[in-house]
Amino acid sequence: MLQSRALWGVCMAEKDYDDIVATAVIAAAATGPLVVAPVADLTVLSGVWTAMLAAINKRSGHGLERDFFLKVPAAVLVGGGLYRVGSKLLQRFIMAAIAATGVGAAPVMSVNGILNALATWRASQAYIELCETEDFDPLDWDRTVKILKEAVKPWPTREEIRFIINFLRWKRL
């Protein structure tokens, strides 16, 4: 499966996308405090993902056409909207558990940042794998949206959460 291969660094053999992925994951993690404003959260993530997908697209050798930049934000908003529904359910459960302890909002913001970082990392791995296929068309948004939605849809595994937390620690966030 894509997530398990990418989790252990197998996916990015031909080209080095690490700097692109790291920048996007860190930017997504920084959106944690926006948990209080979901529309702002999704808007900022849309910009992060647009920049990330464009950079991956360019590095993989595919041109950046005007239509790419017109279609990416819409595709990200569709995929991001589905992600937000799932992550909001998880966040509400976690928020209720944290609220019961009386700790405050900081842990909820941290959870939001980790989930945003994880979704961004998953989307990056799925898009890199897509870009590396022989028949990739940067303007085939039906295929791209389908792959991105599948990448961010599953509940995170413990290994993925540990990976993202360790990644963010390693990047000194």
- pLDDT for 167: 84
Tokens coding 54: 């464009």
Higher-pLDDT residue of 90, 145: 145
- pLDDT for 78: 59
Residue 41 near residue 116, CB atoms below 8 Å:
yes
Residue 143 near residue 21, CB atoms below 8 Å:
no
- pLDDT for 45: 85
Residue 53 near residue 120, CB atoms below 8 Å:
no
- pLDDT for 25: 94
Domain locations along the chain: 14-170
pLDDT at 111 over 90: no
Percent of the chain with pLDDT over 70: 64
Listed range (45-49, 58-62, 99-103, 134-138) with the worst mean pLDDT? 99-103
- pLDDT for 19: 93
pLDDT in tens, 57-89: 889 888 776 666 666 666 666 555 555 555 656
Which residues, 6 or more positions from 166, have their beta carbon under 8 angstroms from its beta carbon? none
Residue 49 near residue 144, CB atoms below 8 Å:
no
pLDDT at 148 over 70: yes
| Angle at CA of residue 171, ends 159 and 163, nearest 5° | 5
The pTM of this model reads: 0.76
pLDDT at 157 over 80: yes
